[in-house]
Amino acid sequence: MSDLLERLRGRGWRMTSQRRVVAEVLGGEHVHLTADEVHARAARLLPEIARATVYNTLGELVALGEVAEVSTDGRAKRYDPNAHHPHQHLVCSGCGTIRDVHMTGDPLAGLPQEQRFGFTVSGAEVTYRGLCPSCARGPGPDPGPSRAAGEGPEPA
Amino acid sequence: MSDLLERLRGRGWRMTSQRRVVAEVLGGEHVHLTADEVHARAARLLPEIARATVYNTLGELVALGEVAEVSTDGRAKRYDPNAHHPHQHLVCSGCGTIRDVHMTGDPLAGLPQEQRFGFTVSGAEVTYRGLCPSCARGPGPDPGPSRAAGEGPEPA
DNA sequence: CTAACTGCAAATCATTTGCACGATG
DNA sequence: CATCGTGCAAATGATTTGCAGTTAG
């Protein structure tokens, strides 16, 4: 279940009761909880845990590459501990629920019936991630990357 | 440029100066502005326009299917008026800038060199959208779809 | 004329941050 | 025992909402 704990310990991650609890909550295979849900569940095991600690911890797990962040449009991000097995997501536009799916080939061709979990699939979306030329030049002395995008004379 | 205006008018969309301005700002082909940027630009043409009006208007355009919402992780959503031509996005993890790209076949195979715009591409992400079985049963009398997902005995 | 749209400001929501205290290695 | 993690509460940033006034059709 939680090789996650093992892996983290191996990486010299300082183990505390709250971190352990967060890692346990994220233990399963097809879990996609929001930070708030993680906090709620963690609090069932360790009542005093603070929301901020959960956010911090989740952030670290993401930075370590042990957990993946999934943004479902305007809703709160969800955290996916299944980061070690490549897979795709099927997101419900109504409630934000996520299911892991496993596609191959052209995603725009549709999702195989047995991977739909009863969902009415309306479409697929492909997003490439990377660094633009200017951000790739290293963080630099802070040119203020925050508000820069899309402004100005619009080179697009 | 703005067949968008035409289309909207045709749909019986009540035309007001602020709505016109928002539609104009979204006129181009490769524009990906945040709500705040749309407001800033709109305000250059119509100083009194309120941020809330921009949000409302953008929301309606999205509902009408004339503009697509693009969420770039934790950052503010960006709005893409190019909703009528199917395409994918290349997002900069540094500053959130978006470029439209045009892939075919298996996205996990990588993005052709000439579509990278100088970006250092680190990966692709595929997300299917749809409605889960319970949300598909219609909005209903409001069973409270907001916080429901991911809670409970975890059917996953 | 009347329903629909605006503006403004206050309200939410998700997430982050500053700082003093406590626990780990 | 020094460092790193935690809790709390307040700060932020994005987006929404309530309500009275204005306007398109």
Q: Would you say residue B145 lies in a domain?
A: no
**Coil/strand/helix, residue B16:** coil
Nearest-Cα distance to chain B for A17, in Å, is 23
Closest-lying nucleotide for B50 based on CA to C1'? C7
Q: Helices B51-63 and B35-45 sit at what angle, rounded to 10 degrees?
A: 120
Closest CA relative to residue B23, chosen from B59, B70, B58: B58
Question: Does A144 contact B at CB distance below 8 Å?
Answer: no
Question: Does A89 contact B at CB distance below 8 Å?
Answer: yes
Q: Would you say residue B77 lies in a domain?
A: yes
B4 sits within 7 Å of strand D by its CB: no
Task: Find, in chain B, the residue whose alpha carbon is nearest to that of A73.
Answer: B71
Q: Would you say residue A151 lies in a domain?
A: no
Q: Would you say residue B148 lies in a domain?
A: no
Q: Would you say residue B150 lies in a domain?
A: no
Nearest-Cα distance to chain A for B36, in Å, is 10
pLDDT digits (tens, 9 = 90+) for B87-143: 999 999 888 899 999 988 888 888 899 999 999 999 899 999 999 998 887 654 444
Torsion, Cα of A34, A37, A43, A46 (10° steps): -50
B34 sits within 7 Å of strand C by its CB: no
pLDDT digits (tens, 9 = 90+) for A49-108: 999 999 999 999 999 889 999 988 778 999 999 888 889 999 998 888 999 999 888 888
Binding-site residue positions of B for Zn(2+): 92, 95, 132, 135
pLDDT at residue B51 above 60?
yes
Residues of B in contact with A95 (CB under 8 A): 132, 134-135, 145-146, 148-149
Mark the nucleotides of strand D covered by protein, meaning any atom under 7 Å from a CB.
Answer: 4-10, 13-18, 23-25
Nearest-Cα distance to chain A for B7, in Å, is 23
> Which two three-digit tokens encode residue B6?
């035409």
pLDDT at residue A5 above 50?
yes
Decide if B73 and A73 are in contact by the 8 Å CB cutoff: no
B56 sits within 7 Å of strand C by its CB: yes
Residue with minimal CA–C1' distance to D8 is: A50
Q: Would you say residue A25 lies in a domain?
A: yes
Alpha-carbon distances of B114 from A133, B28, B102, B119, rounded to whole Å: 14, 22, 10, 10
Q: What is the pLDDT of residue B139?
A: 56
Q: What is the pLDDT of residue B1?
A: 54
Domain limits for position A12: 3-134
CATH code: domain of residue B71: 1.10.10.10
CB B96 within 8 A of CB A93: no
DSSP per position, chain A: --HHHHHHHHTTPPP-HHHHHHHHHT-SSS--EEHHHHHHHHHHHSTT--HHHHHHHHHHHHHTTSSEEE--TTS--EEES-TTS--EEEEETTT--EEEE---S-GGG---GGGSTT-EEEEEEEEEEEE-HHHHT-STT---HHHHTT-TT---
* CA–CA dist B16, B42 (Å, integer): 13
Which of A30, A71, A132 is opposite residue B156, by nearest beta carbon?
Answer: A30
**Number of structural domains chain A divides into:** 1
Q: What is the pLDDT of residue A34?
A: 95
Q: Would you say residue B52 lies in a domain?
A: yes
pTM of the shown model: 0.82
pLDDT category at B68 given cuts 50, 70, 90 is very high
Q: Would you say residue A114 lies in a domain?
A: yes
Average of pLDDT values for A16-26?
Answer: 93
Long-range CB contact pairs, B2-11, < 8 A, 24+ = B2/B27, B4/B66, B4/B81, B7/B66, B8/B64, B8/B66, B11/B64
Give, in degrees to the nearest 5, the angle at Cα B23 between B14 and B72. 125
> Which two three-digit tokens encode residue B23?
């539609």
pLDDT at residue B146 above 50?
no
pLDDT category at A139 given cuts 50, 70, 90 is low
**Coil/strand/helix, residue B1:** coil
